[in-house]
Amino acid sequence: MGVSVACRLCGEPLTRTFVDLGMSPPCESYLRADQLDSGETFYPLHVRICDNCLLVQLPAYVAADDVFSDYLYFSSYSTSWVEHARRFVVDMQERLDLGAESLIVEAASNDGYLLQHAVALGIPVLGIEPAGNIAAIANEKGIRTESYFLGEETGTDAAARHGRADLVVGNNVFAHVPDIVDFAKGLRALVKDDGLVSLEFPHLLRLIERRQYDTIYHEHYQYLTLKTAALALEKAGLKVVDVQELASHGGSLRLMSQPMDAPAATAGEPSELVLKVLQDEADAGLHTVEGHAGFAREVFTIKAELLEFLVQAQRAGKSVAGYGAPGKGNTLLNHCGIREDLLAFTVDRSPHKHGMFLPGTHIPIHAPERLAEARPDYIVILPWNLREEIVHQLAYAREWGAKFVVPIPRLEVI
């Protein structure tokens, strides 16, 4: 086998499947028309769970360098996300009394969507962003950013050059690093002994509870609970002291940790919320291997319901189109084997996707106006996390009697 199937947290062999979604191309590899007759590379989406430490993980079938070195996702395009970051910076300034003598470092700082708020408050910053194209944009905005992957070595080097930070932030990166322990050691190297590390990542408890299997894709290397995230941080000398549950990305955790050798005055006991979230996970069975067992069956139910619906619609002579071209839609469509025969096309608001085709399924992507021209009977909403917003935007489709189809967490026709 080409990739290592040893647990990336504890090194034990991985013998147990959490869910196997078959083969899929990388979810952001949209195709131009002139690429449709060429070969495409598909990789397994076979998620394992470690019998020893319970980390749910996808082997690194696609190297992080291939995914993140030249990346097309700009955080600042989402206004709600930028506002979420601004509130966080203001809260942290008050909580840690940050000012001109302080330092905030962010790993995977993207285009400066978060650090810009610290700069505005006069707090010195350092962004670490592996995608060179995005780091350049942040620097143009006056947000000091360096380009490399964070690990123990690069973190130690950055701390030697810039000093250690009062606050180290990592949003939506902890699930995206193939070597989670080396990354955690990088966080530890960057932070002062009495400083704080804040990480946000999707919560596996919500993924399972809401059947969000389409958020499994190659750039998500692990699917974390509070328990497994805390274990990874412990290996780097960081102890979880606080947690918040957030609505972002279908249900996320914001984890606060401190160095284990923090001075006695600042070292706190874990907050009550830490105990509550651990209890919620235990109640859901996520602190045992057996408790993870039913997910593959749930995934098959979603696939069966969606395919039955599409096949029956076609037999009844009904037309079906999609709305959105999100990465998660590609996991769903490839896993279900849905092609143009069942979903004629999809539309997306992003102009640089128009005229492109979805990876693997080759379903064409058009501008939203195409819906009014084609007047499909059914519109499948692929970014289900935005369903309210999209149903509202597409209210005009009711004029010709169109209905909306949401496949996750269960098939709904609205």
pLDDT digits (tens, 9 = 90+) for 188-224: 999 999 999 999 999 999 999 999 999 999 989 999 9
Using CA atoms, how far apart are residues 390 and 394, in angstroms rounded to an integer?
A: 6
Residue 351 maps to which CATH number? Answer: 3.40.50.720
Domain count, the chain: 2
**CATH assignment at residue 207:** 3.40.50.150
pLDDT in tens, 236-295: 999 999 999 998 777 999 999 999 988 865 666 789 999 999 999 999 999 999 999 999
Residue 250 lies in a domain: yes
Domain that includes residue 249, residue range:
67-292
Q: For residue 242, what are the β-bridge partners?
A: 256
State the DSSP H helix or E strand holding residue 85, giving kind and residue range, or none if neither.
Answer: helix 79-96
Domain assignment present for residue 55? The answer is no
Nearest to 137 by CA among 109, 117, 106, 170: 109
The answer to whether residue 230 scores a pLDDT higher than 70 is: yes
- Tell me the pLDDT of the chain averaged across its residues: 93
Read off the amino acid at residue 214.
Answer: D
How many Cα neighbours within 13 Å face the side chain of 232? 29
Q: Do 103 and 243 share a domain, yes or no?
A: yes
2 or 77, which is more confident: 77
The reply to whether 408 and 333 lie within a common domain is yes
Selection from 159, 203, 151 nearest residue 178 by Cα = 151
Q: Please check whether residue 178 is in contact with residue 60, taking contact to mean a CB–CB distance below 8 angstroms.
A: yes
- Torsion of Cα atoms, 31 then 36 then 41 then 44, to 10°: 80
In eight-state DSSP terms, residue 299 is H
Query: Do 113 and 241 belong together in one domain?
Result: yes
CB atoms near residue 347 (< 10 Å)? 22
Which of these ranges, 38-47, 64-73, 193-202, has the smallest mean pLDDT?
64-73
Average pLDDT over residues 40-54: 96
Q: Kindly state whether residues 150 and 277 are assigned to the same domain.
A: yes
Q: What percentage of the chain carries pLDDT values higher than 70?
A: 94
Mean pLDDT value across residues 301-326: 97
Q: Could you tell me which of 231, 237, 235, 241 has the C-alpha nearest to residue 260?
A: 237
pTM over 0.85: yes
User: Are both 374 and 303 inside the same structural domain?
Assistant: yes
Residue 23 falls inside a structural domain: no
pLDDT band for position 346 (cuts 50, 70, 90): very high
pLDDT given for residue 1 in this prediction: 46
